[in-house]
Amino acid sequence: MKIALDPYMLRGVPLLELPRMVADLGYRYLEMSPRDDFLPFFLHPRIDRAGVRAFRRELDAAQVEVASVLPLYRWSGPDEDERQAAVRYWKRAIALTAELGVTVMNSEFNGRPERPAESEAQFWRSLEELLPVFEREGVRLVLEPHPDDFVEDGIAAVNLIRGIDSSLVSFLYCAPHTFHQGGDLEAVIRHAGPLLTQLHLADSFDHRGSSGLRYIVNPPGSAVRVHQHLDIGQGEVDWDLFFSTLADVGFDGIATVCVFAWEERAHDSATYNLAEVKRYLDKYPRR
- Phi/psi for 178 (5° steps) reads -50, -45
Could you report how far apart the first and last alpha carbons of the chain are, in Å?
Answer: 13
Report whether 144 contacts 177 (CB < 8 A): yes
Residue 221 has pLDDT above 80, yes or no: no
pLDDT reported for residue 55: 98
Q: What is the pLDDT of residues 141-174, one digit of tens each?
A: 999 999 999 999 999 999 999 999 999 999 999 9
Within 13 Å of residue 24, how many CA atoms lie on the same side as its CB? 8
Confidence of residue 222 (pLDDT cuts 50, 70, 90): confident
Report whether 70 contacts 100 (CB < 8 A): no
- Nearest CA to 7 among 226, 263, 272, 255? 263
| Cβ neighbour number for residue 278 with a 10 Å cutoff | 12
Mean pLDDT in residue range 96-102: 98
Which residues share a beta bridge with 199? 173, 255
Beta strands, E only, the chain: 2-5, 29-32, 65-69, 104-108, 140-144, 169-174, 196-201, 254-257
pLDDT reported for residue 223: 82
Buried b (16+ CB within 10 A) or exposed e, 7-40: bbbbbebebeebbbbbbebebebbbbbbbeebbb
Mean pLDDT in residue range 40-45: 98
pLDDT reported for residue 151: 97
Q: What is the pLDDT of residues 228-251, one digit of tens each?
A: 899 999 999 999 999 999 999 999
Residues whose CB falls within 8 Å of the CB of residue 169, separated by 6 or more in sequence, listed in order: 131, 140, 141, 142, 143, 161
In angstroms, rounded to a whole number, what is the distance separating the alpha carbons of residues 280 and 266?
A: 21
DSSP 107-159: EE--S-TTSHHHHHHHHHHHHHHHHHHHHHHT-EEEEE--TTSS---HHHHHH
pLDDT reported for residue 158: 98
pLDDT reported for residue 220: 74
Residue 261 has pLDDT above 80, yes or no: yes
Query: With pLDDT > 70 as the criterion, what percentage of the chain qualifies?
Result: 100
Residue 106 has pLDDT above 80, yes or no: yes
Residue 39 has pLDDT above 90, yes or no: yes
pLDDT reported for residue 256: 98
| Cβ neighbour number for residue 73 with a 10 Å cutoff | 25
Confidence of residue 44 (pLDDT cuts 50, 70, 90): very high
